[in-house]
Amino acid sequence: MDLDGTVYYGKDEVPGACDFIKTCQKKGIRILYVTNRANRPPEEIRDQLRSFKIPCETDDVLTAAQATARYLKKGSAYYIGEEGMRLALEEEGITLNDVNPDYVIVSFDREFNYAKLKKACSLIFKGAKFVASNPDRGLKMEDGISPGTGAIIAAVETGSAVKPLMIGKPEGIIFEMALQKLGMNKNEVIAIGDNVDTDIPAGITAGTRTALILTGISTYEEAMRSPHKATWTVRDFAELSALLEEI
């Protein structure tokens, strides 16, 4: 299950999310939260879910920052990002280097500026491999749609004329890690999310069934126009709960 726009908008819970998750847990359905947001450590996400009275452990969360660091495994990196990315790199033993790193990693960074853009581009020119956590163009917050990591990636991509290796949804890498973490077969898993451009194609690539919930970034019209067809499209958690009863 996705988080932004699916379970919460910033600090606010998406109506019905908590009840839906509790119902799943009662039925013995395991929920793994797979988020493209790379700036928040899993402990912070766990604590926020607990504040909604959703039982959650850090192991129930897989962030694009963790997936990026785990995928790279070793080496050195210069990163554009926040605390969640720094901690994930540290945990994997990837060293920080802003002179001649193996990788330039771009993720969600609310302090992004021209100096960081220039640094990232010059290191890519010097041969560092360009890696990006997730392509989301925006995310739905309490006060509307905020520009996402995709906007920052676009700046680095334009400045360096290099396309990044993408780790997060819609790419399959993060979902393969998720399936491994769950220890489940793709047939046993449903991918739930609010973004028809990321959550749904990631599920399709991984071979799981998919449920698009229209509580967040994607509209009904976008869902209808999209080449990525979810197994189910639901308006809200009431519809998703009804669906779960049927299958």
Q: Which residues bind Mg ion (CB under 5 A)?
A: 2, 4-5, 194-195
Closest CA to 3 of 168, 152, 143, 132: 168
Cβ-closest position to Mg ion: 5
Minimum CB separation from Mg ion for residue 97, in Å? 32
Minimum CB separation from Mg ion for residue 36, in Å? 7
Compute the distance between CA of residue 198 and CA of residue 184 in angstroms, rounded to an integer.
Answer: 21
Place of tokens 């990693």: 105
Q: How many CB atoms lie under 10 A from the CB of residue 10? A: 12
Q: What are phi and psi of 75, to 5 degrees?
A: 105, -165
Our CB check for Mg ion shows the closer of 162 and 177 to be: 177
Minimum CB separation from Mg ion for residue 38, in Å? 13
Our CB check for Mg ion shows the closer of 4 and 102 to be: 4
> For the chain, how long is the longest CA-to-CA vector?
56
Our CB check for Mg ion shows the closer of 39 and 195 to be: 195
Q: What are phi and psi of 147, to 5 degrees?
A: -60, 140
**Given the DSSP bridges, would you call strands 138-141 and 144-147 parallel, antiparallel or unpaired?**
antiparallel
Our CB check for Mg ion shows the closer of 37 and 46 to be: 37
Minimum CB separation from Mg ion for residue 1, in Å? 10
Distance set, CA 62 to CA 86, 120, 152, 159, 207 (Å): 15, 26, 22, 30, 19
Q: Say if CB 227 and CB 200 are below 8 A apart.
A: no
Our CB check for Mg ion shows the closer of 5 and 101 to be: 5
Minimum CB separation from Mg ion for residue 111, in Å? 22
Our CB check for Mg ion shows the closer of 171 and 194 to be: 194
Minimum CB separation from Mg ion for residue 46, in Å? 18
